[in-house]
Chain A
């Protein structure tokens, strides 16, 4: 009751609607189709029934974690190993979740947080963070629903039809998500020198982890957290953002 009153009293400058979210979610869904197609294919090849491949996609909604997960299932790993692997690979979502907690408006109450948190993926997080100002629960639902459908549908198609698509085309579709990330970072780095510097630091660290032999055994989930935390901390120390920068970045 109190929350409803508050939300209607303080009218936000920009209100992103459910359909705005749907529209923003479509490119993510297209990218997901190809990645989850590969997942469905791989899972079935590893002896997991198509039904469970789709069930895993519908309940996990994460790429790296699922690929590692079916690998562990096929290898007959223990449940403890599964817990630890998922934790290491997916812990970056906590970081995104903290960031999203500062981005959502009053319409996102406890119950909606329980639902919205399910949709926090790299891509959905990326698009949500790229919006100006605060975002509402309706926008988040809209943004989540298409990628969820794309991810589930792609898994189903991969699991049942696998191998029909030429490899070259499948590989080319896989690059779509990386292209989207670039399209989110570059325009901001272009106008903000501090973001550009943070991005370069993060990239440099990430290359060091990839190419210096002693770091090779560290999981990619940890590497991303480490690079992002160090680069952002340096950015926050050297270039603290002003209040208004958070809104119209």
Chain B
């Protein structure tokens, strides 16, 4: 792999990824009036995030135990209305603690 090759790969990745993000934003200039599309777009963020988290979160930590514990902590704290950063930090601490214990056993 030469430097020239890497530059071509970098450019390709950057351009494709940018076009995917840029085109819809630039092409859609009007507020969408259609009721169905409006509702659809209202639900999209939550549906996207939900599909990203589950089941993936159970495979990204050191063990199923830590993932499960972290997941429970995140859900309970979010349900109680804690801020993003608080939920994130506590979940990390929980995963770290459980994984440390699992590693000791």
Contact = CB atoms under 8 A, between A and B. Distances in A.
Contacts of B51: 202-203, 205-206, 223-224, 227-228, 231
B91 A59 contact: no
B24 A97 contact: yes
Nearest to B37: A236
Given A30-B88, A181-B52, A206-B50, A198 B43 contact: yes
B23 to A, nearest CB: 7
Given A87-B16, A126-B49, A102 B32 contact: yes
Q: From DSSP, what is the main secondary structure of chain A's interface residues?
A: helix
A147 interface: no
Contacts of B40: 232-233, 235-236
Contacts of B32: 102
B91 A176 contact: yes
Given A102-B31, A171-B95, 10 more contacts: A55-B10, A79-B12, A101-B29, A125-B45, A168-B62, A175-B61, A183-B88, A202-B48, A232-B44, A246-B42
B20 A175 contact: no
23 contacts: A56-B13, A86-B13, A94-B20, A94-B23, A97-B25, A98-B28, A101-B28, A101-B29, A102-B32, A120-B25, A125-B45, A174-B60, A176-B88, A179-B87, A180-B88, A183-B88, A185-B50, A185-B53, A186-B78, A203-B53, A206-B51, A231-B47, A241-B39
Interface string B1-33: 101011111101110111011111110110110
A227 B88 CA distance: 25
> For the side of the interface on A, what is the size category?
35 or more
Interface residues of B, number: 77
A126 B88 contact: no
Contacts of A175: 57, 60-61, 67, 70, 91-92, 95
Contact of B24 (A94, A174, A207, A220): A94
Nearest to B18: A118
A235 B10 contact: no
